[in-house]
């Protein structure tokens, strides 16, 4: 029984994206299935699209991708960033639409 | 459970102080998560605060009667269609200069602009100004003008205090820029309202994020950025743990180790994947005198524990940085601190369509800029760690340079000339004196790569026509 407890304690995934719980295994599988760039990884895994908007995972992900492709990180295309670059509560936008001008 | 906290403390710090390690259970896998960055950059401290899920408790101040619950998985979509009553209508602001980030670069820029009578709006994600100066307890080097002899948090207090004397400076706390839009508008979101800001120039001094590392158990509570531990002990006076393993022997890793020792934490070891120590000899000597082993050619293989870190397995690496089989060793510890570098937060530039380049010496993608720190988006400037990782003194100098470059355009005649001269003097000092130090050689090389002449910038703008301009 003691052995089981020890195992449980030591059985952890390698998390790449904490927001969306994407593991190294997920990333490697996507690369094996043909993803060759960040955009493909984002579209298949939704990695980097959680509330921190890739601030934690994308630099790490680019290093993993570069290693897999046998390239230097600075040879990869840079990540595309779209607004809003931080999560904004929808209430704030709704309130400005309510005011009539809708942006 | 009712808990007591100090005024000015973040919710996350107050909980950590009484031994609460798990702040949430993650979205898909239900894994426990705790303190990690402690400066509002990641998502590990999300909790339900007064019924609002996804609240970053590390940058949410405590207040009387606030109700905090652990978040379990994704928050349900609210069923009510009505808008929260405390939300205010969007406000339109016009200003001379918008500064994104109230750390050393942003505050220095704001002060310079305020002195020349220009209107400034500062947006700051944290509920306190000062950025990472607030956790710097060591004394700065350099002349009095560079705040030599003062400690980081004292510099933050001084800059904030000086700034509060100007009524042409508006500070928006707990606010962040969410995008740059056509026509030169910047969208800013505060806690209860949006701002649509039309500045004549923007300085982005958004700082940096700590780099993450891939190993099993890398998300267990107790695995933290080195800066996260500094926030706990240096800013809030909370002992982050009892036994620490530090990954990375650059200056951050060495300094945080020394601060851990001062706080009464045992530092089991400092790991360095390279065959030599990364940081300055002076810092390494300090921790070695306490008997802390600095293990070069070593890395972390795994962290383990149930609801939090209980230990880690380390391993020796060969000259190709591959683990040497059989060299694994277990270390019991309750903290694994990652000090493996920072990445500049340049997402607002990427979103605005600025010409950017990944520069390894600077920690990641940065906007190409002129010597005066203007990027390919006309009127959009960069300063501090967002321009490439360096250190606080150069951040303050860069903030002032960007501010003076802007002021020289907005003022006329004799005043503009004086400002221009002052800027040239600072530029000369920065490049030819301060950065001449071999200690800054790497950052200097990176900044040289990122800096182009005015002519080259014009050529880049022709090649990549900016979608937006603030000029």
A44 in a structural domain? yes
For the cut 70, the answer to whether the pLDDT of residue A100 exceeds it is no
**Cα distance between residue A40 and residue A38, in whole Å:** 5
A5 in a structural domain? no
* CATH entry, B223-340, from 3.30.1360.170, 3.40.50.1000, 3.50.50.60, 3.40.120.10: 3.50.50.60
Q: Confidence band (pLDDT; 50, 70, 90) for A1? A: very low
A2 in a structural domain? no
Q: Confidence band (pLDDT; 50, 70, 90) for A103? A: very low
- What is the distance in angstroms between the Cα of B82 and the nearest Cα belonging to chain A? 8
Residue ranges of domains in chain B: 11-72, 91-209+343-463, 223-340
A19 in a structural domain? yes
**Cα distance between residue B464 and residue B227, in whole Å:** 37
* B330 inside 8 A of chain A by CB: no
Strand pairing report for B185-189 and B176-181:
antiparallel
Please give the CATH number for the structural domain made up of B91-209+343-463. Answer: 3.50.50.60
- What is the distance in angstroms between the Cα of A77 and the nearest Cα belonging to chain B? 9
From the list B332, B325, B362, B345, the residue with the least C-alpha distance to B100 is B345
How many domains does chain A fold into? 1
B345: chain A residues, CB-CB within 8 Å? 55
**Cα distance between residue B333 and residue B243, in whole Å:** 5
DSSP string for B189-230: E-SS-EEEEEEEEEEE---EEE-----TTTTSTTEEEHHHHH
Q: Confidence band (pLDDT; 50, 70, 90) for A2? A: very low
- What is the distance in angstroms between the Cα of B304 and the nearest Cα belonging to chain A? 5
Is A96 within 8 Å of B89 when comparing Cβ atoms? yes
Contact B154, A51 (CB under 8 A): no
Q: From the CB of residue B262, how many other CB atoms can be counted at a distance below 10 Å? A: 12
Nearest CA in chain B to A8: B306
A39 in a structural domain? yes
Distances (CA, A) of B356 to B182, B363, B406, B421, B461: 19, 13, 21, 29, 12
From the list B328, B306, B308, B304, the residue with the least C-alpha distance to B316 is B328
**Cα distance between residue B421 and residue B424, in whole Å:** 5
Contact B11, B47 (CB under 8 A): yes
DSSP string for B307-350: SS--EEEEEEB-TTS-B-TT--EEEE-SEEEE-S-EEE--HHHH
Is the link from the previous residue into A84 a cis peptide, with omega within 30 of 0? yes
A52 in a structural domain? yes
The confidence score (pLDDT) of residue A6 equals 58
Instruction: Measure the CA dihedral B385/B388/B390/B391, to 10°.
Output: -10
If you average pLDDT over residues B191-208, what whole number do you get?
97
The confidence score (pLDDT) of residue B431 equals 97
A4 in a structural domain? no
The confidence score (pLDDT) of residue A68 equals 93
Higher pLDDT, B163 or B145: B163
From the list B396, B440, B374, B437, the residue with the least C-alpha distance to B132 is B396
Q: What's the predicted TM-score (pTM) here?
A: 0.95
Cα-flanking dihedrals φ and ψ of residue B334, to 5°? -115, 0
Contact B285, B249 (CB under 8 A): no
Each residue of B246-257: pLDDT tens digit? 999 999 999 999
For the cut 60, the answer to whether the pLDDT of residue A3 exceeds it is no
Q: Which of B71, B216, B222, B330 to mutate to test the interface with A (most CBs of A within 10 A)?
A: B216
For the cut 50, the answer to whether the pLDDT of residue B293 exceeds it is yes
Which residue carries 């267990």 as its tokens?
Answer: B220
A6 in a structural domain? no
If you average pLDDT over residues A80-84, what whole number do you get?
94
Percent share of chain B, pLDDT over 90: 93
DSSP classification of residue B115: H
Q: Say which CATH number the domain at A46 has.
A: 1.10.10.1100
Strand pairing report for B266-272 and B243-247:
parallel
Is A52 within 8 Å of B41 when comparing Cβ atoms? yes
For the cut 80, the answer to whether the pLDDT of residue A94 exceeds it is yes
A92: chain B residues, CB-CB within 8 Å? 87, 90, 189, 192-194
B358: chain A residues, CB-CB within 8 Å? 73-74, 76, 78
For the cut 50, the answer to whether the pLDDT of residue A52 exceeds it is yes
Q: Confidence band (pLDDT; 50, 70, 90) for A98? A: low
- What is the distance in angstroms between the Cα of B235 and the nearest Cα belonging to chain A? 23
Tokens coding B201? 């120039």
Nearest CA in chain A to B341: A59
Distances (CA, A) of B202 to B4, B7, B25, B123, B343: 41, 33, 38, 11, 21
Is B345 within 8 Å of A82 when comparing Cβ atoms? no
DSSP classification of residue A24: H
What is the three-class DSSP state of B282?
Answer: helix
Q: Which of A5, A9, A10, A42 to mutate to test the interface with B (most CBs of B within 10 A)?
A: A10
Each residue of A18-33: pLDDT tens digit? 999 999 999 999 999 9
**Cα distance between residue A14 and residue A8, in whole Å:** 15
**Cα distance between residue A59 and residue A66, in whole Å:** 11
């Amino acid at each position: 029984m003691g052995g089981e407890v020890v195992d449980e304690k030591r059985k952890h995934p390698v998390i790449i994206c904490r927001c969306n719980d994407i593991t190294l295994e997920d990333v490697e599988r996507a690369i094996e299935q043909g993803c060759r760039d960040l955009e493909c990884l984002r579209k298949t895994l939704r990695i980097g699209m959680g509330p921190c908007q890739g601030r934690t995972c994308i630099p790490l992900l680019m290093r993993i991708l570069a290693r897999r492709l046998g390239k230097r990180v600075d040879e990869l295309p840079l990540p595309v960033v779209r607004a809003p670059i931080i999560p904004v509560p929808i209430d704030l936008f709704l309130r400005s639409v309510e005011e009539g001008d809708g942006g | 459970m009712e808990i007591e906290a100090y005024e000015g403390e973040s919710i996350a710090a107050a909980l950590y102080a009484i031994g609460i390690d798990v702040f949430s259970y993650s979205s898909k896998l239900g894994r426990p998560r705790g303190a990690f960055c402690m400066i509002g950059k990641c998502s590990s401290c999300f909790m339900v605060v007064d019924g609002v899920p996804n609240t970053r408790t590390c940058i949410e101040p405590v207040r009387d009667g606030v109700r905090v619950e652990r978040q379990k998985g994704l928050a349900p979509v609210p069923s009510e269609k009505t808008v929260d009553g405390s939300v205010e209508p969007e406000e339109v602001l016009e200003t001379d200069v918008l500064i994104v980030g109230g750390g050393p670069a942003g505050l220095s820029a704001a002060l310079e602009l305020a002195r020349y009578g220009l209107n400034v709006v500062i947006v700051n994600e944290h509920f306190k100004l000062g950025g990472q100066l607030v956790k710097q307890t060591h004394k700065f080097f350099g002349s009095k003008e560079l705040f030599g002899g003062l400690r980081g948090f004292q510099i933050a207090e001084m800059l904030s205090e000086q700034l509060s004397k100007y009524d042409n400076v508006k500070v928006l706390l707990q606010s962040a820029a969410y995008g740059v839009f056509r026509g030169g508008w910047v969208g800013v979101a505060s806690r209860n309202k949006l701002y649509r800001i039309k500045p004549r120039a923007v300085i982005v001094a958004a700082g940096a994020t700590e780099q993450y590392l891939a190993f099993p158990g890398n998300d267990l509570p107790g695995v933290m950025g080195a800066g996260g531990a500094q926030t706990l002990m240096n800013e809030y006076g909370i002992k982050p743990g009892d036994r620490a393993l530090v990954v990375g022997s650059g200056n951050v890793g060495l300094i945080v180790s020394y601060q851990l020792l001062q706080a009464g934490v045992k530092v089991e070891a400092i790991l360095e994947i390279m065959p030599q120590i990364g940081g300055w000899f002076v810092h390494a000597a300090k921790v070695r005198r306490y008997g802390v082993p600095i293990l070069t050619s070593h890395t972390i293989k795994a962290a383990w524990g149930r609801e939090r870190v209980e230990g880690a397995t380390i391993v020796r690496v060969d000259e190709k940085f591959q683990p040497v089989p059989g060299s694994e060793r277990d270390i019991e510890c309750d903290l694994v601190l990652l000090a493996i570098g920072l990445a500049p937060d340049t997402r607002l530039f990427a979103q605005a369509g600025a010409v950017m380049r990944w520069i390894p010496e600077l920690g990641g993608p940065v906007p190409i800029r002129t010597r005066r720190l203007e990027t390919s988006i006309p009127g959009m400037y960069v300063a501090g760690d967002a321009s490439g990782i360096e250190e606080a003194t150069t951040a303050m100098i860069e903030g002032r340079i960007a501010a003076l470059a802007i002021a020289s355009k907005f003022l006329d005649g004799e005043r503009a000339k004086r400002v221009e001269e002052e800027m040239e003097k600072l530029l000369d000092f920065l490049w030819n004196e301060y950065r001449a130090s071999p200690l800054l050689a790497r950052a200097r090389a990176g900044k040289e790569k990122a800096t182009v002449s005015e002519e080259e910038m014009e050529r880049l703008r022709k090649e990549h026509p900016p979608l937006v301009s603030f000029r």
